[in-house]
Amino acid sequence: MGESGTGKEVFAQSIHNYSGRVNRPFVALNCGAIPKQLIESELFGYEEGAFTGAKKGGNLGKFRLADGGTIMLDEIGEMPMDMQTKLLRVIQEGVITTIGSSKSIPIDVRIIAATNRDLKKEVEAGRFRKDLYYRLNVLPLFLPPLRERKKDIPLLVEYFVKNISQKLNKKEPVILKKYLKKMIKYNWPGNIRELENLVELIVNTGSIPADYFTEENCDNEVLVDISDDCLKLDYVEKEHVIKVLKKFRGNITHSAEALGIRRNTLYNKIEKYNIKI
């Protein structure tokens, strides 16, 4: 769940890439982008001659393409009610039925469903099946809007500047601190996608449109302290050491082991970064 542009697809792909299913396909289907009457054949496929206009040889369907891997059902909130019923059956029974066939075919896929709607509200409004909602909601993940993770803006800017300049074969622009500050104040209605697009514009033109940041679309306060520290490797190391220490409740031996360093080295880092155990 997350607003548009918060990285739902990137995140779903990452879940797949870091899973045991990585050597099998990752297949995405945007339920909002295909005509409702085609969703069933896109998902479950059809046999040759299943209907007029059916392709010769039939169509495998996304579920079978993704067998052993991951299927991402994007904009699940757009799925029509009758398809929700069919999807629920697939999840419960682990089988699909292609159009024009009576055979049930077992499939093994991880389903990642994404939405920028409030599905709970959709359930209350009677537009989304409650039982399917609970079936899908076994591991809910929320991607926060960029305005709620402003701390990450400098890192993302740095990443996109490098990445996009390289891709477009352009010189890396230097983004002055005063502009970085404005970027942090700005509230990014289009989230990470908007930031990425703005950086591309900066790389291409060497400037930021004068009217991009206005009083209305920015917060008054800079909520994040942007000394350049957060771009440094040390900053990342410090954050990571803190994370691991938290995980092991401050236990030095276990934390050092997890970090793959000696206890003394960990003590030195704790002192260097002034971490309070």
Ligand X SMILES: Nc1ncnc2c1ncn2[C@@H]1O[C@H](COP(=O)(O)OP(=O)(O)OP(=O)(O)O)[C@@H](O)[C@H]1O
CA angle 183, 188, 190 (to 5 degrees): 135
SS3 assignment, position 110: strand
Q: How far is the CB of 7 from ligand X (least distance, A)?
A: 3
Straight-line distance from the first to the last Cα atom of the chain, in angstroms, rounded to the nearest whole number: 34
Nearest to residue 67, comparing CAs of 38, 46, 96? 96
Q: Should residue 194 be labelled a site residue for Mg ion when binding is judged by CB under 5 A? A: no
Closest CA to 108 of 136, 140, 70, 60: 70
Stretch that binds ligand X, among 18-26, 88-96, 119-127, 188-196 (CB under 6 A): 188-196
| 192 touches, from Mg ion, ligand X, none (C-beta below 5 to 8 Å by class) | ligand X
Binding of Mg ion at residue 148 (CB under 5 A)? Answer: no
Q: How far apart are CA 160 and CA 241, in angstroms?
A: 25
CB of 184 to Mg ion, least distance (A): 25
Residue (of 177, 223, 181, 183) closest to 199 by Cα position: 183
What's the CA gap between 127 and 239, in Å, rounded? 43
How far apart CA 168 and CA 205 sit, in angstroms, is: 12
Binding Mg ion (rule: CB under 5 A), the pick from 1, 2, 9, 206 is 9
Size of residue set near ligand X by CB under 6 A? 12
Q: Is 25 a residue that touches ligand X (CB under 6 A)?
A: no
Q: Is 152 in the site for Mg ion (CB under 5 A)?
A: no
Give CA–CA dist 57/46, Å, rounded. 9
**Binding of residue 8 to ligand X (CB under 6 A):** yes
Cβ of residue 113: shortest distance to ligand X, in angstroms?
12
Out of 7, 32, 80, 100, the residue judged to bind ligand X by CB under 6 A: 7
Pick the binder of ligand X from 1, 5, 71, 87 (CB under 6 A): 5
Check binding of 16 to ligand X (CB under 6 A): no
Residue 80 lies near ligand X (rule: CB under 6 A): no
Say which residue the tokens 């982008």 belong to: 33
| Residue 67 contacts residue 26 (beta carbons within 8 Å) | no
Q: Applying CB under 6 A, which part among 6-14, 53-61, 118-126, 233-241 lies near ligand X?
A: 6-14
Interface residues toward Mg ion, by CB under 5 A: 8-9
Interface residues toward ligand X, by CB under 6 A: 2, 4-10, 116, 192-193, 196
